[in-house]
Structures are given as structure tokens and as C-alpha cells.
Structure 1
């Protein structure tokens, strides 16, 4: 398993309605619980400015632990400074009754295919062995697309590690915005996000799933690494180990899940700068969307906006 499968599954994990994590799991976790990473928190936070107001870009991790809180003070300051928030999906849609049905629609086949038809024989056999060991049946997954099966497996691993979707930074800030009475919106709909997932070619979906099945325990270490990189705000490791890896090994997935969505979001974010003379906005999206030449940080910088990273301990380290 490589970070590209983790990334693909983490994208879908964000769209899960609160407390719906278990509904997508095809089997119990194939690995034992892993210890929490003991690291110091540094935010993946940037401030983008024009002549009269600011937009904060915050890289989120969609699955977190209770001991990931409280968040660094820089995030608190950005939240307090912002008059409104933007997430990948509108918080109201996250709790809408039809969200589960929308996800289930895209997780299933609409072209007469089935899991046994789109997976190579060896991959199907590995999957059967894994789910049988957990008391499940591969036949029960026959109408699930490979990305949906992968999502269930990654959620099984993450649950064993204590990482949960309802503890993700997005969910935390959605709740906080609601309590503070701050308006919050979305950059895309659940339907649009699921359509992007569903558009990933079967071959790339199957390849990522097979890599997991060949060595499930490797996923624990990789998810641990990604979580630790996020906690320490390690842009270089996240970029090379997550974004660049996905771009290189799964170019179509990368285009659909990262590049195309970034391009669709960019005008909406830029409007928060050009359309206001005073109000600031906190934009919270998966960290992948902020990194590299395809990321929102460099795209806004290329448009001439002032962009600076907000990281107290980074500044202190640079001074030393």
C-alpha cells in the first residue's frame, strides 16, 4: 500500500457523515493497534493577503485522535480573526439525511460491472482471504467499487490506531464555527466529491487495493508516518511522500482528486479576497490540496498575492 491509496481513502473519509464510519467497513481491521506518534504540533497554515483582507489556508487531516487536541495557538488565532469559514463540503450537507444515500450510489456499480469483474484474480483471492479471516464474505462486497472497499479497509486500520473521522480537524472547526455563530460554507458538494472518487479508473483503484492486501501491516506505518508529518507540519515529507507519490504512480487519480478540484476551488477562494474589503476567511481543506506546484498556496502566490506561512515555532527555529 502506498500513500496514494491512503490519500484516496482519506478524501472519502471526510465526506462521511458524523458517526457513519462503521457503515462503510467491509471487515474488521486486519492489523493491531499502533502507538500514537509523540510529536510536537506545527500547523500547516498560510495567510494569503491582498490590499485589504486575508484568507487563511489550513491543511487538515481528516482522521485524528483525541490527543491531537488542543490545536496549535496559530489555528486559534486564525479562527478568531476570520469572519467566516470555507470547508471542502458545507457543514449542513455533512449532516443532511441524503448524504449517506449519495455516497452509497457512487460506491456501487452503474455500468453492469462487479468487484469480481474489475479486480484481477490474485487481488480478489487476497481480499477473500482477508475478509474471511474477519468472519466476512467477499460476496458481500460484490457490488462495491474497489475505492469503496479500500475506504473500509483504511477506516478499519485507522480505527485500530485511534484515528477517527469525527475527530478530524474539519469536523472540529465545523463544530466550533457553529458554536461561535460564524458562517461556514463549502467549496464543492458531496455529489461532486463522490463523482471525482467514482471517476478514478478501475485499474488504479484495483492497483492501490492490491498493494494494501499484499502487506496490510505496512499501511499502519504509512498512516502513522503521514499523521506524524502532519503533526510536525513537515511540508517536504508530505509533499514527496504523499502528493508527489500519488502524482507519479496514479496520474489520473491525482488529476481527478487534486488538480481538477484545486482549479475549481481557486476562483471561489480568490473571490474571498477580491470581493471583500474587510472580512477574512479561514479555508480548511485536506493538506494535499495546499502542496506543490498544483497546490492552492503556490497557485495564489503565482497570481501575485502575498503568501506567508503562519507557524510560530518555524519562525523561532529560523531565527535560531
Structure 2
């Protein structure tokens, strides 16, 4: 993908001190909840999609939840992760279908900043003209995270997909890759441009924020993640929040509940991005509101 390739070329310019700026990370506390009815349970595990080697081994609570589960549910079916049709869907939605171009949808000041950044790496804006702002922004963020040492193949989802396959446990998805891409593509251009503008204004801030979010996730800090990720997103980009978080949670909720109602004995481990478990719109509180027994599974911290 062109935005991602460009981002990797820009990494040397943007990450002079990424490792030194990251907060200290001591304890590991999982974002893990157990939701139960009268006869079985669903575990909800908040994932970080890109991780580092030293994030492993996982906390013991995650191992216990995995061992206690007969099957797993991820955002996307593991089989779809590398399917050719998934790659085609991503390419389709990253490009414009209405004849527009990047220079036509971005505000001129934002376009100028992007042009400066691209020129510094020896590239040109022309290579990005057919990419939507969210795709350009995603490429830049992926480039930064890789320069910081994060790897998608080390992400919690990927690791647990591999583990489920090795253990012979069935795994399925809550949505398709196309569902994900449609949600990203539906975000209004104004909010897409806003995210890109914030990155271009201060790339180093994005580096610090990534380090902070990783540290909060690793420490299982629900309050910080909720305030700095979910609530901030809801306040600054309400349509993005509705499309990427609220509506997807609503679509997933009946599928999670079905795992409780259909089975009388088998448990399920559900692994989704941490954002989807937080706040009143999150799966944890929505299931609690439906009367299920909900408990935080964290040996080293008090239940939230």
C-alpha cells in the first residue's frame, strides 16, 4: 500500500528518540472480564493490535481464560486475515469511488504540511492522490509504530489466533474485513482530515501518545484508557466514534450474547480492541446492564 510504504520512508525523520520517550512499564495487568449467566461464561479481552516481544509472556489470567474456553471470537475471522479478497477489499475502500482526490478533500494548509513531510523523504504527493485521508493517516501511524518496535505479528489478536489453531480450538469473527473497511470509509472527510492534521502538526506527539497508550494497556489502566482514548475520541470526532466504536459494538453484542444463551457449558474467549470494552458504550457495561454477572479478572488489581 503506497501510504504505508511512504510512511516507512519517513520513519528516520520522525523517530529520533522514540524509545527514550516511552513511559516505564513495570507490571502487566490484563484488560480481561468474565461475563456469566447461569451455566457458562464469556471472557472479554481488550487487545492491542501491535505489540513488542517483551509484552510476552501474557499475564496468567489470560492463559487461564484461554484454557477455560472451548472457542474464540475475534473482530475478524482468522482465516480472512490473509485471504486475497480481504486485501482487495482494503485496497478498494482506501481509494476514492466518487472521482475525488486527496488534494480535493484535504484543506489546503493540511495538504501543504503533508507535501512538506513527503518531500523531506524524497517522495511526492502525487503517489497519494488516490488514497483517502484515513488511509494516509493509517499508513503514517503504522510507520511510526514499526519504528518504535511494535509489530503486527506480535499483536495480541495474532498471537491468540495462532495459539487457538495450535490447540485445535475453533475461532470465528464478529465482522468481515469489508465491514471494517466500510466503517472506516464512512467517516466524513472532515474528520478524516482532522486526524491527519493532528498528526502533521506534531508527529512527535503521536509517538508519545502511542507510548502512553501501550503503557496504559500493559498496566490494565481502565481509567486512563477510557479518558484518553474513548472519551477523547467521542468528544473530538463524534462521527468517527459512532461509526467505529458504538455501531460496531451494537452489531457485536447479540453475537456475544448468543455464546451465553446457546451453550450450556462451553465458554468463549472474545478478543477485541481495548476501545470496544470501555465506557458506557463498551461491551462490558452493556452486558452488565443486561443483568449478566460481570467481574474483572485481574490478580494484581481490584475489580473495576
Q: Same fold (TM over 0.5)?
A: yes
> CA offset at residue 159 of structure 1?
0.7
Distance 1:33 1:189 in 2: 37
Match of 2:16 among 9, 32, 35: 32
Match of 1:247 among 227, 234, 240: 234
Tell me the TM-score normalized by structure 2: 0.95
- The residue that corresponds to 1:4 in the other structure is none
- The residue that corresponds to 2:155 in the other structure is 168
Distance 2:256 2:275 in 1: 16
Distance 2:16 2:164 in 1: 35
Please give the per-residue CA displacement for 1:282-310, whole angstroms capped at 9, x wherever unaligned. 00000000000000000000000000000
- The residue that corresponds to 1:231 in the other structure is 218
Distance 1:38 1:259 in 2: 30
- The residue that corresponds to 1:139 in the other structure is 126
- The residue that corresponds to 1:264 in the other structure is 251
Query: 5 Å matches for 1:61-140?
Result: 61-140=48-127
Please give the per-residue CA displacement for 1:24-71, whole angstroms capped at 9, x wherever unaligned. 333322223522643211000000000000000000000111111111
RMSD of Structure 2 on Structure 1 (CA): 1.5
> CA offset at residue 74 of structure 1?
0.3
> CA offset at residue 23 of structure 1?
7.5
Q: How many residues align?
A: 297
Contact 1:33 1:161 survives alignment (8 Å): no
Segment of structure 1 superposing worse, 127-136 or 47-56: 127-136
Distance 1:258 1:127 in 2: 28
Query: 5 Å matches for 1:193-204?
Result: 193-204=180-191
Contact 2:25 2:218 survives alignment (8 Å): no
Distance 2:255 2:233 in 1: 25
Distance 1:79 1:22 in 2: 37
- The residue that corresponds to 1:52 in the other structure is 39
Please give the secondary structure, in 1, of the residue aligned with 2:62: helix
Are 2:199 and 1:219 equivalent residues in the alignment? no
- The residue that corresponds to 1:151 in the other structure is 138
- The residue that corresponds to 2:280 in the other structure is 293
Contact 2:25 2:219 survives alignment (8 Å): no
**Which structure 2 segments of 5+ residues have no match?**
none
Tell me the TM-score normalized by structure 1: 0.90
Are 2:271 and 1:284 equivalent residues in the alignment? yes
Distance 1:38 1:289 in 2: 23
Q: 1:212 to 1:247 in 2, by over 3 A?
A: same
Distance 1:215 1:159 in 2: 18
Contact 2:4 2:143 survives alignment (8 Å): no
**Which structure 1 segments of 5+ residues have no match?**
1-20
Match of 1:206 among 183, 193, 203: 193
> CA offset at residue 138 of structure 1?
1.0
Contact 1:31 1:157 survives alignment (8 Å): yes
